[in-house]
């Protein structure tokens, strides 16, 4: 490790300090103006890229407006003003009522810290109060405030209370009310539940301890850096971080490992924004991260990543543990203290998630991650005790091979460990390594380029700073210029109209970063969440969590209601005939045939063109009332538009069932829909139609349900997933199961492995199902139509050849995948947490279907009936 050196002037004496924090010169005033303009640029970037939340934008506006006033205030008024601004931001974010309660609950905690009783009494009182708060957090007791206040209130107090108490006990200075309020309610905390653990002593000691403009310039540089990190994060999240269950090649695996670690950019971006904003109000806090991707050892990594957490642990855990254990020797003390730190980090991580998201996750992969990291850090510490690492005060060599190799090796191991921490389970993590054995052309080149690039970058000692001399920085290294250049650069990049004509692909990629959307993986998880409880709140990405958190508690999947009928056959379940419930706020009625439809006669009336519509939830009409599904809208539309001279009437029968996969639509078609002798069969599915097939077939195999299709049975049999259907202990990999079986231990394939194996044959399953659907439909004299329709998504999904496959299978293809583009999507979907179309959305679908039916009149054998409608969409 090399010395940072002092990049700024030495600390000032008290009198000089007071003088230097006042803005007296024209140059300093000009700096205030420049920084205010930079803040305006930052706000434009936040708006252009829709970064973080609306609350974040409002808080940044408050900071940007408050900064110049604050900077021009007399020094003695600044801290009170910052405290007031912080309290105001709480009201802005939560509204008057919840804001009031949040502040009051916080004041209760602060009051307990200052009770005129010994610390031995105060601490238990605080613990009891925290326990009461936890009961409220779990909503076990009614409260006059919204549950939404808890993540922010908790992030303000759950760790800072301990540091505050420590300072009360050991620091000489008694805190002032303004400083205490500023410390706990600090402005940026209102919009960031994940917040660096700011140390109270540091918070106090670094307050305007340098020249004011110098602090402000550093803050602005960090804000610019934070925005850059957040935009980079979005690129990684949307375009690089894939689904761990969909890794096929070594290249996929390498990309997944890299991207998973790079997702941490969101945390470092937020923390830069937070500490940068605090700098604008005089709090010259240290950096929260320091080039953590360039750690040359695991102890180095621990020291560079989330430095505030490391310092928090050092102060409250490591040093007290060390001093307690050192009666057994220094080495024992260091090992014991380090292990204690990592154990507590694991537990406190779960404690934190309890407050932020509910639940108390203690997943095995979390424990494994921290345990392995602890072992690596302990090893590193013991090595450093014997052989201290080299330090230098000046500039080291330009490039070091040893440093390069150590850094790349450390980075690689950290990526592997991080992937363990991020996957759903240890079993799921083991499955990703199956992709390593499949080396696609170009994978080795990719690996080579990454390693070589990594070595080139990592061999340079980036932390070295030359000792300051009297000469000023060259103009291009001045902080103000650097941060302005970065901000302007981000704005230019965000203005895609400037270069879309010459680089349309780049413009499209940048445009994709300018919306807060879910990645393909998270969108699939969200879709899964319509049918099952996603109880892994702590493992969700922040993006998915923010969507899930908006979901009303009564918003459940169909299988949790009385309208669902579980079956022990290949269908797995369907709608309960005669059910009448309220499903997600809307009446849902099931007729005697098990259809979400009005009552229908089995016998087709004369002069009736009958359409049987099959599909999942957006056919059934999740969260819309009876009569508002797209089948209903289509029937009304068709009959309204029917040629007045025609005697043909239309019936559109809704056989949709939420959660139904393509294979279940086949079973429903053969069991029920064809009995109604439809003239056309609309098989409706989204572009992500593989998604529901996998879990359905895995459930079928696991429950040993008979698959009534020999060809499908053959495809599944070839994957080897029949080993899932056992009573034994789940053991990954065939070789391991064989060994255990030989030793007399009964085993079965784990679900994750079955999912992986089946996924490799999913294309065959899909193509077979499409062919079978079309064949069976035609055999019964009906016309097969494939309707490609997604929920109301922000951007159209990737087709992946589904439309071509459907056409090749013999379907008429109605492509509605772009139906939502160019429309105000919020007015056409149920809500932020539920992308299903609402009634208005389904009317749009019906309009499009009518147009497509008109265009395919001959294929649909509509000899009469539909008249041309001018100006159709």
Q: Which window, 4-12, 128-136, 659-667, 691-699, contacts other proteins (CB under 8 A)?
A: 4-12
Of 111, 124, 177, 320, the one binding other proteins by CB under 8 A:
320
Give min distance, CB of 1 to other proteins, in A.
6
For 495-530, where are the alpha helices, taking DSSP H only?
A: 504-512, 520-529
Cα–Cα distance measured from residue 88 to residue 407, given in angstroms and rounded to the nearest whole number: 45
Does residue 381 interact with other proteins by CB under 8 A?
A: yes
Residue 240 DSSP SS3: helix
Of 293, 318, 570, 768, the one binding other proteins by CB under 8 A:
318
Give min distance, CB of 384 to other proteins, in A.
6
Does residue 503 interact with other proteins by CB under 8 A?
A: no
Give min distance, CB of 454 to other proteins, in A.
23
User: Cβ distance 727 to 746 under 8 Å?
Assistant: yes
Does residue 821 interact with other proteins by CB under 8 A?
A: no
User: Cβ distance 566 to 557 under 8 Å?
Assistant: no
Please say which residue, 387 or 779, places its beta carbon nearer to other proteins.
387
Please say which residue, 58 or 406, places its beta carbon nearer to other proteins.
406
Of 75, 314, 455, 509, the one binding other proteins by CB under 8 A:
314
Cα–Cα distance measured from residue 315 to residue 349, given in angstroms and rounded to the nearest whole number: 17
Strands (E) across 724-811 are located at: 729-730, 747-748, 783-788
Does residue 183 interact with other proteins by CB under 8 A?
A: no
Give the DSSP H/E element, type plus range, for residue 846: helix 839-855
Give min distance, CB of 62 to other proteins, in A.
30
Please say which residue, 395 or 566, places its beta carbon nearer to other proteins.
395
For tokens 């908790």, what's the residue? 154
Residue 23 DSSP SS3: coil
Q: Which window, 137-145, 164-172, 218-226, 410-418, contacts other proteins (CB under 8 A)?
A: 164-172
Does residue 397 interact with other proteins by CB under 8 A?
A: no
Residue 247's φ and ψ, nearest 5 degrees, are -85, 130
Give min distance, CB of 198 to other proteins, in A.
14
Does residue 303 interact with other proteins by CB under 8 A?
A: yes
Does residue 9 interact with other proteins by CB under 8 A?
A: no
Name the residue among 798, 784, 796, 789 with its Cα closest to residue 848. 789
Q: Which window, 1-9, 270-278, 604-612, 705-713, contacts other proteins (CB under 8 A)?
A: 1-9
Give min distance, CB of 170 to other proteins, in A.
5
Give the DSSP H/E element, type plus range, for residue 66: helix 54-72
Buried b (16+ CB within 10 A) or exposed e, 194-218: ebbbbbbebbbebbbbbbbbbbbbb
Site pattern 327..356 for other proteins (x: CB under 8 A): ---x---x----------------------
* Residues that contact other proteins, how many (by CB under 8 A): 37
Q: Quickly count: other Cβ atoms within 10 Å of residue 867's Cβ.
A: 12
Please say which residue, 463 or 512, places its beta carbon nearer to other proteins.
463
Of 30, 97, 115, 319, the one binding other proteins by CB under 8 A:
319
Does residue 166 interact with other proteins by CB under 8 A?
A: yes
- 451-490 residues near other proteins, rule: CB under 8 A: 463, 467
- Distance from the Cα of residue 191 to its chain's centroid: 16
Here the contacts of 719-725 (C-beta below 8 Å, separation 24 or greater) are 719/757, 719/758, 719/760, 719/761, 720/749, 720/757, 721/749, 721/754, 721/757, 721/758, 723/748, 723/749, 723/754, 724/698, 724/748, 724/749, 724/750, 724/751, 724/753, 724/754, 725/701
Does residue 205 interact with other proteins by CB under 8 A?
A: yes
Does residue 5 interact with other proteins by CB under 8 A?
A: yes
Sign of the torsion angle spanned by Cα atoms 802, 805, 810, 813? positive
Give min distance, CB of 212 to other proteins, in A.
20
User: Cβ distance 461 to 402 under 8 Å?
Assistant: no
Please say which residue, 222 or 233, places its beta carbon nearer to other proteins.
222
Buried b (16+ CB within 10 A) or exposed e, 28-66: beebbebbbebbebbeebbebbebbeebbbebbbbbbeb
Residue 285's φ and ψ, nearest 5 degrees, are -75, 155
Sign of the torsion angle spanned by Cα atoms 438, 442, 446, 451? positive
Please say which residue, 324 or 445, places its beta carbon nearer to other proteins.
324
Does residue 445 interact with other proteins by CB under 8 A?
A: no
Please say which residue, 202 or 684, places its beta carbon nearer to other proteins.
202
Residue 788's φ and ψ, nearest 5 degrees, are -90, 110
Q: Which window, 185-193, 320-328, 445-453, 556-564, contacts other proteins (CB under 8 A)?
A: 320-328
- 729-768 residues near other proteins, rule: CB under 8 A: none
Q: Which window, 138-146, 319-327, 725-733, 795-803, contacts other proteins (CB under 8 A)?
A: 319-327
Please say which residue, 402 or 703, places its beta carbon nearer to other proteins.
402
Please say which residue, 341 or 513, places its beta carbon nearer to other proteins.
341
Please say which residue, 171 or 626, places its beta carbon nearer to other proteins.
171
Does residue 1 interact with other proteins by CB under 8 A?
A: yes
Does residue 627 interact with other proteins by CB under 8 A?
A: no
Please say which residue, 252 or 300, places its beta carbon nearer to other proteins.
300
Does residue 18 interact with other proteins by CB under 8 A?
A: no
Please say which residue, 111 or 468, places its beta carbon nearer to other proteins.
468
Of 89, 249, 270, 299, the one binding other proteins by CB under 8 A:
299
Name the residue among 542, 42, 534 with its Cα closest to residue 264. 542
Does residue 20 interact with other proteins by CB under 8 A?
A: no
Of 30, 69, 323, 360, the one binding other proteins by CB under 8 A:
323
Rg of the chain on CA atoms, in Å:
31
SS (H, E, C) 571-583: CCEEECCCCEEEE
Does residue 111 interact with other proteins by CB under 8 A?
A: no
Q: Which window, 15-23, 37-45, 157-165, 198-206, contacts other proteins (CB under 8 A)?
A: 198-206
Give min distance, CB of 790 to other proteins, in A.
51
Of 53, 55, 201, 438, the one binding other proteins by CB under 8 A:
201
Q: Which window, 197-205, 235-243, 478-486, 675-683, contacts other proteins (CB under 8 A)?
A: 197-205
Give min distance, CB of 199 to other proteins, in A.
9
Of 76, 170, 505, 606, the one binding other proteins by CB under 8 A:
170
Sign of the torsion angle spanned by Cα atoms 511, 516, 522, 523? negative
What are the angstrom distances between the C-alpha of 481 and each of 27, 467, 469, 476?
15, 21, 20, 7
Q: Quickly count: other Cβ atoms within 10 Å of residue 550's Cβ.
A: 13
Of 47, 114, 248, 290, the one binding other proteins by CB under 8 A:
290
Does residue 406 interact with other proteins by CB under 8 A?
A: no
Tokens, residue 463: 């932390």
Please say which residue, 2 or 815, places its beta carbon nearer to other proteins.
2
Q: Quickly count: other Cβ atoms within 10 Å of residue 842's Cβ.
A: 23
Cα–Cα distance measured from residue 58 to residue 67, given in angstroms and rounded to the nearest whole number: 14
- Distance from the Cα of residue 73 to its chain's centroid: 41
Please say which residue, 382 or 447, places its beta carbon nearer to other proteins.
382
Binding-site ranges for other proteins (CB under 8 A):
1-6, 10-11, 166, 169-170, 201-202, 205, 286, 290, 299, 303, 314-315, 318-320, 322-323, 330, 334, 381, 384-385, 388, 391-394, 463, 467
């Amino acid at each position: 490790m090399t010395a940072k050196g002092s990049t700024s002037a030495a600390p000032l004496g008290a009198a000089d300090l007071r003088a230097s924090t006042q803005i007296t010169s024209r140059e300093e005033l000009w700096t205030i103006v420049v920084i205010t303009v930079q803040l305006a640029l930052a706000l434009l970037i936040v708006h252009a890229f829709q970064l973080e939340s609306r609350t974040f934008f409002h808080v940044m506006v408050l900071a940007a407006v408050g900064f110049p006033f604050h900077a021009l205030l007399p020094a003695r008024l600044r801290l009170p003003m910052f405290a007031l601004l912080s309290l105001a931001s709480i009201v802005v974010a939560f509204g008057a009522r919840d804001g009031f309660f949040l502040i009051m609950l916080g004041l209760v905690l602060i009051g307990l810290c200052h009770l005129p009783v010994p610390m031995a009494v105060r601490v238990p009182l605080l613990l009891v109060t925290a326990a009461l708060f936890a009961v409220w957090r779990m909503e076990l007791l009614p409260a006059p405030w919204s549950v939404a206040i808890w993540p922010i209130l908790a992030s303000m107090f759950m760790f800072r209370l301990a540091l505050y108490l420590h300072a009360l006990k050991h620091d000489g200075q008694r805190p002032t009310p303004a400083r205490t309020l500023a410390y706990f309610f600090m402005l940026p905390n209102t919009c960031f539940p994940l917040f660096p653990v700011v140390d109270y002593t540091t918070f106090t000691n670094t307050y305007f301890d340098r020249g004011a403009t110098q602090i402000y310039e550093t803050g602005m540089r960090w804000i610019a850096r934070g925005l850059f990190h957040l935009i980079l994060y979005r690129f990684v999240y949307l375009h690089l971080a894939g689904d761990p269950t969909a890794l096929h090649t070594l290249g996929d695996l390498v990309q997944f490992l890299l991207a998973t670690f790079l997702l941490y950019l969101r945390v470092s971006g937020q923390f830069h924004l937070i500490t940068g904003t605090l700098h604008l109000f005089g709090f010259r806090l240290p950096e929260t991260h320091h080039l953590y991707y360039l750690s040359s050892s695991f102890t180095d990594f621990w020291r560079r990543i989330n430095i505030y957490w490391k310092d928090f642990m050092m102060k409250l855990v490591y040093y007290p543990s060390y001093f307690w254990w050192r009666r057994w020797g220094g080495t024992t003390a260091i090992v014991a203290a380090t292990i204690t730190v990592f154990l507590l980090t694991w537990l406190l991580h779960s404690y934190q998630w309890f407050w932020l998201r509910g639940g108390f996750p203690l997943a095995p992969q979390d424990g494994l991650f921290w345990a392995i990291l602890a072992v690596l850090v302990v090893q590193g510490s013991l090595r450093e005790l014997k052989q201290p690492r080299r330090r230098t005060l000046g500039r080291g060599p330009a490039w070091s091979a040893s440093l390069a190799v150590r850094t790349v090796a450390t980075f690689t191991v950290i990526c592997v460990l991080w992937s363990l921490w991020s996957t759903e389970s240890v079993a799921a993590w083991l499955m990703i390594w199956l992709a390593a054995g499949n080396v696609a052309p170009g994978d080795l080149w990719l690996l080579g380029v990454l390693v070589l690039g990594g070595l080139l970058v990592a061999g340079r000692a980036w932390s070295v700073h030359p000792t300051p001399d009297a000469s000023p920085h060259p103009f291009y290294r001045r902080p103000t210029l650097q941060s302005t250049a970065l901000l302007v650069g981000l704005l230019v990049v965000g203005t895609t109209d400037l270069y879309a004509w010459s680089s349309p692909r780049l413009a499209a990629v940048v445009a994709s970063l300018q919306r807060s959307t879910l990645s393909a993986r998270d969108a699939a998880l969200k879709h899964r969440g319509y049918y099952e409880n996603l109880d892994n709140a702590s493992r969700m990405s922040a993006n998915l969590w923010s969507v899930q958190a908006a979901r009303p508690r009564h918003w459940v999947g169909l299988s949790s209601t009385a309208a669902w009928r579980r079956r022990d056959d290949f269908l797995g379940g369907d709608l309960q005939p005669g059910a009448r419930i309220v499903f997600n706020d809307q009446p849902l009625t099931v007729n005697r045939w098990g259809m979400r439809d009005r009552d229908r006669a089995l016998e087709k009336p004369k002069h009736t063109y009958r359409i049987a519509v099959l599909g999942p939830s957006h056919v059934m009409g999740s969260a819309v009332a009876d009569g508002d599904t797209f089948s209903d809208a289509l029937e009304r539309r068709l009959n309204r538009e029917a040629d007045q001279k025609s005697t043909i009437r239309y019936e559109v029968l809704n056989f949709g069932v939420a959660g139904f996969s393509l294979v279940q639509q086949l079973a429903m078609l053969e069991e029920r829909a064809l009995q109604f002798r439809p003239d056309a069969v609309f098989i409706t599915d989204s572009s992500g139609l593989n998604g529901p097939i996998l879990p359905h077939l895995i459930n079928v195999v696991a429950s040993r349900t008979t698959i009534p299709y020999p060809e499908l049975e053959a495809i599944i049999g070839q994957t080897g997933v029949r080993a899932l259907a056992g009573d034994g202990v789940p053991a990954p990999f065939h070789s391991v199961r064989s060994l255990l079986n030989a030793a007399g231990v009964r085993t079965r394939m784990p679900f994750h492995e079955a999912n992986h194996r089946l996924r490799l044959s999913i294309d065959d399953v899909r193509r077979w199902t499409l062919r079978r659907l079309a064949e069976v439909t035609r055999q019964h004299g009906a016309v097969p139509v494939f309707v490609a329709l997604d929920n109301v998504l922000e951007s159209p999904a990737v087709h992946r050849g589904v439309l071509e496959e459907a056409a090749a299978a013999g379907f008429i293809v109605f492509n509605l995948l772009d139906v939502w583009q160019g429309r105000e999507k919020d007015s056409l979907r149920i809500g932020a947490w539920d992308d299903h179309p609402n009634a208005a959305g389904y009317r749009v679908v019906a309009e499009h279907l009518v147009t497509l039916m008109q265009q395919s009149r001959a294929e649909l054998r509509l000899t009469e009936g539909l008249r041309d409608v001018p100006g159709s969409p």
